[in-house]
Amino acid sequence: MIDYNRPWHVLDIDISNAVRTDLDFDQLLEKSGAVDKSIFLWNFTDESLTELFDPQWLVYIKSLGFEIRNTLLFYRAPDYIHPLAHIDYVGTANPVPAVYALNFVIDTEDDSSMVWFRHNKKSGMMKTDADFSNPQNHYEFWPMDQLVGCEIDRRCIGQQLTLISTGTAHNIIMGKKPRWAVSIRLVRNNQINNWADAVNCFSPWIKQKGKIDD
């Protein structure tokens, strides 16, 4: 039975050949001037999706009925913990909280945790990714010190495509390894208005308890 209260679900969708084998992540950091930064992100969309993904994998994912709108590639340095948890927003003129994303991490030995939090009714601080040349990406932030004792759940995402709640405040707690994470955003489905809708939509691919690779 699917747990609708859990903010993540591992999907039975193959990502073993999703990322281009010739993509040099260290070179990407260097070219972006981000070698000494603790956090950075890149946005791939339309034609540039093939700069990140293997074209054959894009054919495969489309055959499942998924149409990728854009994909964010996140880098975080070891031991770095962002001082703010956030909710993702979608839209430019009138952004609204995003419901979900499809995430996986590049490193087979990923030791980071994605953590979700309850937050108070008070609105957080609205910001964009303007620092990363993506002013169209909006977020709502809460200081981590306001969320002590408010943890809902956590998960080491690893190399498994995982449906994650982006409409719940979340942050990444880093381990000792750098983290390269892929976050796929699909073309908006008007039938997905909340987390339960997202879980129902992806239920054919959700791995049930006892079949999840830990």
Could you list the beta-strand ranges (E) of the chain. 8-10, 39-45, 68-76, 84-90, 96-97, 100-105, 113-117, 125-129, 134-143, 151-155, 162-165, 170-173, 179-186
Q: Residues 184, 52: contact at Cβ < 8 Å?
A: no
Q: Tell me what pLDDT residue 212 has.
A: 54
Q: Tell me what pLDDT residue 135 has.
A: 57
- Stronger pLDDT, 212 or 117, i.e. the higher one: 117
Q: Among the listed ranges 33-37, 93-97, 157-161, 190-194, which one has the minimum average pLDDT value?
A: 93-97
54's tokens: 């293997």
Q: Hey, is 47 helix, strand or coil?
A: helix
77's tokens: 């340095």
DSSP codes joined into one string, 87-133: EEEE-SSS-EE--EEEEEES-TT---EEEEE---SS--EEEEEGGGT
Q: Residues 7, 168: contact at Cβ < 8 Å?
A: yes
Q: How far is CA 202 from CA 11, 25, 100, in A?
A: 8, 30, 11
Write the pLDDT tens digit of every residue in 21-57: 999 999 999 999 999 999 999 999 988 999 999 999 9
- In words, the CATH class of domain 8-205 is mainly beta
Q: Give residue 210's pLDDT band: very low, low, confident or very high (50, 70, 90).
A: very low
Give this prediction's pTM.
Answer: 0.91
